[in-house]
Amino acid sequence: MNKKEYFMLILKAAEKKFGNADKRLAGDSWPEAWQTLVATIMSAQTRDEVTIPVAEELFETYPNVRKLASARERDVLKIIKRVNFSKTKAKNVIEAAKVLVERYNGKVPDSIDELVELPGVGRKTANLVIAECHAKAGICVDTHVHRISNVIGLVKTKTPTQTEYALMEIAPKKYWSRINRLFVLWGKSVRGRDRKKILSALQ
């Protein structure tokens, strides 16, 4: 079995196991693209269960991107203090909002190259945003996607960016946007790097 066939086997099993799960992740179901962007920036190294209510409070206080762009850092920090690296993230979400207002008229750009220029945005966040907000193909690689892809032998990589490009080679483009959600739910269900244990979680 080659890597492309192996990927499809894994994807189908993951879809069967987790495809209908109603668990909300931090980047899911926000009505505005800028909210998806900001929530995803805040979610880095923070559990979704923490990020989502914090993001909801932030968006209630700042209901549009222009209000967030003019927010004071200490006021944002007060709201988001429960997320990890809150001081850096408070600065980044305000600065990102400013760029959106000043350069893009409040809209969220739909290209990876433009998105990664925003404060606090790396390829993981950029790929999630293009997939979630713009219905474009993107492989969002977080710690779960990176870990599982390596442990089960889909890829052999050292960094999430390497994993993203390696998965592009073996995954049909139409499935790229499904990988993150399925692998995150899978990763949340089983910890560690035991290959047998990780694969058995799909059964």
Kindly tell me if the per-residue pLDDT of 97 is higher than 90. Answer: yes
Mean pLDDT within 138-153: 97
CA distances from 125 to 9, 36, 37, 70, 112 (A): 27, 9, 7, 23, 9
Is the pLDDT confidence value at 156 over 90?
yes
Of 51, 21, 16, give the one whose Cα is nearest residue 125: 51
Q: Which long-range contacts (CB under 8 A, 24 or more apart) does 162-171 make?
A: 164/123, 164/127, 164/139, 167/7, 167/139, 167/141, 168/139, 169/3, 170/3, 170/4, 170/6, 170/7, 171/4, 171/7, 171/11, 171/139
Residue 183 pLDDT greater than 90, yes or no: yes
Q: For residue range 161-176, what is the model confidence (pLDDT) as tens digits?
A: 999 999 999 999 999 9
Residue 55 half-sphere exposure, CB side, CA atoms within 13 Å? 27
* 124 catalytically annotated: yes
Instruction: Report percent pLDDT > 90 for the chain.
Output: 99
Give strand ranges (E) for 33-176.
none
Is the pLDDT assigned to residue 135 strictly greater than 90? yes
Q: What is the mean pLDDT of the chain?
A: 97
Residue 191 has pLDDT above 90, yes or no: yes
Per-residue confidence (pLDDT) for residue 148, from 0 to 100: 98
What pLDDT score was predicted for residue 1?
86
pLDDT at 69: 98
State mean pLDDT over 96-106: 98
Mean pLDDT of 153-157: 98
Cα 153 off chain centre by:
22
Nearest CA-CA partner of 90 in 71, 65, 107? 71
The structural domains of the chain, ordered by start, are 3-22+139-200 (1.10.1670.10), 33-134 (1.10.340.30)
d(CA 138, CA 13): 21
Active-site hit among 87, 124, 136, 174: 124
Per residue in 1-49, pLDDT (tens digit) is 899 999 999 999 999 999 999 999 999 999 999 999 999 999 999 999 9
Residue 106, CA distances (Å) to 90, 127, 198 in order? 18, 19, 42
Backbone angles phi, psi at 15, to 5 degrees: -65, -40
